[in-house]
Structure 1
Amino acid sequence: MKDAAVNFITRFAPSPTGRLHKGHAYSALLANARARAEGGQFILRIEDIDTTRCKPEFVDGIYEDLAWLGITWPEPVRRQSEHFADYQAALEALKAKGVAYPCFCTRKDIEAEIAGAGAAPHGPDGPIYPGICRDLSADEREAKIAEGTPHAWRLDLAAALALVTGPLEWQDELKGTITATPEELGDVVLARKDTPTSYHLSVVVDDGLQGITHIIRGEDLFHATHIHVVLQRLLGLATPVYHHHGLMLDEHGQRFAKRNKSVTLESLREAGESPEALKRNLLSQGG
């Protein structure tokens, strides 16, 4: 929970699906530097809800890489896989408000629906879910669940927006006041068939529980914020100030990726790179 004496709390929240690379280092260093400059707190969180791709050795690697960069953090570190009950409680709260519905669609079902329609609205992540299961009756939903039909839970965005009063916006340190347009993401998944939460739900719940006041993250997550502010309003959580920094790119103009082992902090360390040189190089690039 938020310390009342600390007015600036930010976090670095990687997923342990591989070793950290230069892009991760930049984001962590920027957040840590801001926390130090503001006399605030930098929190490390491990976002490991994907229990098939996340590995213990990558968690250890995160600790090793951040320590090499000279970054420290308070203990204990929150690991999302240990807090599924918190996300379930939030999901139940959304169900109670009538803004979540079960979705029984497979990927093929969705692709077929979009193909049959001839065209579909697109958002930053591709085609928007066409709402196949949104209008199922309560009896149809209950029957499918009773039969054991696998299902995810989706946000009923139209119902959610009907409950939101006042301006739906957030403050972005680089872009100013942003009016949210969550329609560009549509009825996002809140809990998956094999995981009792999703990125959107878990990150909003955790930021609220940990009292995060400022979120410093890459601009690739800018569009997700349109949905996050909706969930914050529905769950009665404060909306932090956001800073969506530019992404670190390689010599070909491509984003750094975990699959490219040459840019991981582990490989740079093994090649003799000093953390001081890397920090100067990354922070000098701004963002």
Structure 2
Amino acid sequence: MKKQFPQALTIAGSDSGGGAGMQADLKTMQMRHVFGASVVVAVTAQNTRGVNDAFTLPKTIIDEQFEAIADDLAIKAVKSGMLANSDTVRTVAKNLRKFNFGPYILDPVMVAKGGAHLLTDDAVATVKQELLPLASLVTPNLPEAEVLTGITIKDQGAMRVAAEKLQTLGAKNVLVKGGHLDTETAASDYVLLADGTDFWLSGPRFETINTHGTGDTISACIAAEIAKGTDLKSAIQIGKAYVTATIRDGILVGHGHGPLNHWAV
């Protein structure tokens, strides 16, 4: 008898270097024993050294990808990453309202590791208006949380305030990733849940520049776990443990900000 398999969806851009974006999402879902489907919204020419060029797909083909997936697959959780511009954000929001793909994880990707901007300035407002209210969980890093909330984040207290602000903007649950905080020994993330409970997730800080795709990976892992039926708190904890392992057990690929080791356990 064939086994019914949990299925999750990533909405993201393609990373030709294979380290982030749709490629990182699908590798992560595969490692979590979840079948990953994808809606590609943009194609980038990039590697570990940076983004050379990018092309955003027309709205019609984005719509058609959503239609095709909804017509055939049983998606139980969905995440989004790079969305490029306001038109794409609106198109994604429209389709998320139209189709029931389960809990939605919003990774508000704005800047690549090499510094290239992956979300236009006007699209930030659209993300706040259109996507935050749809999100079961939003997973910004500190620079992204600062842009979304207008709060300068220099310590853990400010991380709490930013998470509360994101809830007032419509996000139900919030994971503020603290990797950019200036601490020597630990990388601590703050989680604020819809019921008001909160907790910290801490992991060791590793001396490496091979962290390309960390945000994509943790959000994809959380989405995959939710598709399997894992509760949100446990899914977040599993996501943190997995991304820590992918950095700890690093691999050497390329000559810049290298990718994670998605084989790590």
TM over 0.5: no
Q: TM-score, normalised by structure 1?
A: 0.28
Computing the radius of gyration from Cα coordinates, the structure with the larger value is: 1
Q: Comparing both chains, which one has the higher relative contact order based on Cα–Cα distances under 8 Å and sequence gaps of 6 or more?
A: 1
Q: TM-score, normalised by structure 2?
A: 0.30
